[in-house]
Chains A and B, each alone.
Chain A
Amino acid sequence: MIKALGYFIEIIKGSLITTRHFMVNMWFHTLKLFRIKTKRKGAVTIQYPEEKRDIASRHRSLHRLLKREDGKPRCVVCMLCVTVCPSECIYVEAAEDPDPEVQKVPSTFIIDLSRCCFCGFCVEACPEDAIRMDTGQIEFAEYSRDKLIYDLEKLTG
């Protein structure tokens, strides 16, 4: 009986906590309705498509291929990214470049984003700093898988 009474007191305390949360949050929601004190929010929710969080500068987002000054991709088809990729989602084919300093350029450079796990190993491995994951773009969901296969044009553009 005494034990039950102790439980009862704790039960009341618990309900007071939730009541306090309700009252405080409702108070600020109501104030916001009348355009008073709009800085203090009644909820911690970020309403995603309308509001967005800032992405950290080191965040690994969609890949991009960097270009030289003359507009050709920096990639020299060393195949290091292809080798290191744990999900095996990079496919590169080489073509000959007339410039003897460069020798090789990619004729196809495909990243299959439906497989990519965004580990960033390709960026780490690249000796030419040709691939980076700093576009800040994180919304590229598609309705079909073949739209997730990004080719050279999409990655450089």
Chain B
Amino acid sequence: MSDWIIILIKIICALVWFLVIALYLTWAERKESAVIQDRIGANRANIWKFRVIGLFQPFADAIKMIFKEDFTPSFSRKFLHNLAPFVSFFFVAITISAIPFGDVLRIGGREIKLQIVDFNVSLLFVLAMLSLGIYGIILAGWSSNNRYTLIGGMRGAAQLISYEVALGLSLIGLILVYPSLKLSAIVHFQGELLWGWLPKWGVFLQPLGLLIFFFAALAETKRVPFDLPEGENEIVGFFTEYSGLKWGLFMFTDFMEVLIVSCLLTTLFFGGWQVPWLYADGFHFPWGGEWLLPHGIVVAFQVLAFNLKVFFFCWLQILIRWTYPRFRYDQVMDLGWKLLVPLSLVNIAGTAILLSLIG
């Protein structure tokens, strides 16, 4: 019984974290783009004249989208048209269940893993769910019964499927290095030290894999350098026929994808919740120093480290979105098939040879 309650609490906490951070990513994107472009950004939304640097803006946006007319075109396929945004939302939202936020938390003789479910193939699960998100796009493009949305949907499908290849192949090197598909085990492996001082993070062991994964993941989020399914100034994209809250759901899914990509980058390549040289009983520095900490503070450090890393990658992705112009469609395909896929194959071969030489 109490196990169920714990799982329920974990689901609620993780989902609230996920949705709130994704909500505030909309605010962060506005503010960061403004600061990059020497502007100030949205700061007018207020509650009783309290502005707090525009922190109420996401709520104002949400209220606006809820009260807009939810228009379904008469020529669309109604059921699929209504289903599509929920499909793409669901498959992104469910991935959070496999992300480890921290190590075990011990309360009253009970060990709680700070992860909703810790199953053996969580890495495959995350990749599979992210790929299933394509169905939302294709369905939206197809069921709107509009040529441009169909072009957008097909572009989205082609782009996501071709980058899925590079995304999967780039992670094989990682799986060779950390022999597990369990995300929590991968994070545990990254806590070990190389040559006694360097933490075994993916970024040090798989730099090429990180690069390929990062590019492929950027393409997966369908944001600006790779926003061909949307293509604001040419085809307007797969959600042209959506309005109100359903359109908002597509938009929100984009931000959730940014967040989940940040979570994956952190977990796979930057040590997840690991803080360098922090063990279960405190810091053991490679130069011999020690700083012992109680269990609760260690867990707090881990969760904080995970959050900070995730925020950093969200920041980086927003920076990329506001720096680069869009690729042309053939350039995207070239980059995917001619550069990233061969490079990821090279990465696999190189990693395998090195590992067999080391033994």
Task: Point out residues on A near B: beta carbons under 8 Å.
Answer: 1, 4, 11, 14-15, 17-19, 21-22, 25-26, 29, 42-45, 47
The residue on A at minimum CB distance from B325 is A14
Interchain Cβ contacts under 8 Å between A and B, 27 examples: A1-B339, A4-B335, A4-B339, A14-B323, A14-B324, A15-B319, A15-B323, A17-B323, A18-B319, A18-B322, A18-B323, A19-B319, A21-B35, A21-B36, A21-B37, A22-B32, A22-B35, A22-B36, A25-B36, A29-B35, A43-B34, A43-B38, A43-B40, A44-B39, A45-B39, A45-B40, A47-B40
Residue of A11, A44, A47 near B38 (CB, 8 A) is A44
Does B320 interact with chain A (Cβ within 8 Å)? yes
Given A4-B339, A47-B40; A42-B35 close (CB under 8 Å): yes
The residue on B at minimum CB distance from A23 is B35
Question: Which 9 interchain pairs have the tightest Cβ spacing?
Answer: A45-B40, A18-B323, A43-B40, A25-B35, A18-B36, A44-B38, A22-B36, A21-B36, A15-B323
Minimum CB–CB distance from B72 to chain A (whole Å) comes to 33
A11: B residues at CB distance < 8 A? 324
User: Beyond the given A18-B36, A18-B322, A22-B319, could you list 8 further A-B residue pairs with CB under 8 A, ordered by the A residue number?
Assistant: A14-B323, A21-B37, A22-B36, A25-B35, A25-B36, A43-B39, A44-B38, A45-B38
Q: Is the CB of B319 within 8 A of A25?
A: no
Minimum CB–CB distance from B102 to chain A (whole Å) comes to 29
The contact string, 1 if C-beta is below 8 Å from chain A, for chain B 31-67, is: 0101111111000000000000000000000000000
Main secondary structure of the interface of A (DSSP, over half): helix
Minimum CB–CB distance from B57 to chain A (whole Å) comes to 16
A26: B residues at CB distance < 8 A? 35
Q: Which of B20-36 contact A (CB under 8 A)?
A: 32, 34-36
B324: A residues at CB distance < 8 A? 11, 14-15
Residue of B32, B35, B320, B339 near A43 (CB, 8 A) is B35
The residue on B at minimum CB distance from A47 is B40
Give Cα distance in the complex from A14 to B34, angstroms: 17
Give Cα distance in the complex from A26 to B319, angstroms: 14
A22: B residues at CB distance < 8 A? 32, 35-36, 319
B32: A residues at CB distance < 8 A? 22
A47: B residues at CB distance < 8 A? 40
Minimum CB–CB distance from B252 to chain A (whole Å) comes to 24
Minimum CB–CB distance from B212 to chain A (whole Å) comes to 13
Give Cα distance in the complex from A14 to B322, angstroms: 11
> Of residues A18, A25, A42, which shows the largest number of chain B Cβ atoms within 10 Å of its Cβ?
A18
Residue of A15, A44, A45 near B320 (CB, 8 A) is A15
The contact string, 1 if C-beta is below 8 Å from chain A, for chain B 149-182, is: 0000000000000000000000000000000000
A21: B residues at CB distance < 8 A? 35-38
Q: Which of B330-351 contact A (CB under 8 A)?
A: 335, 339
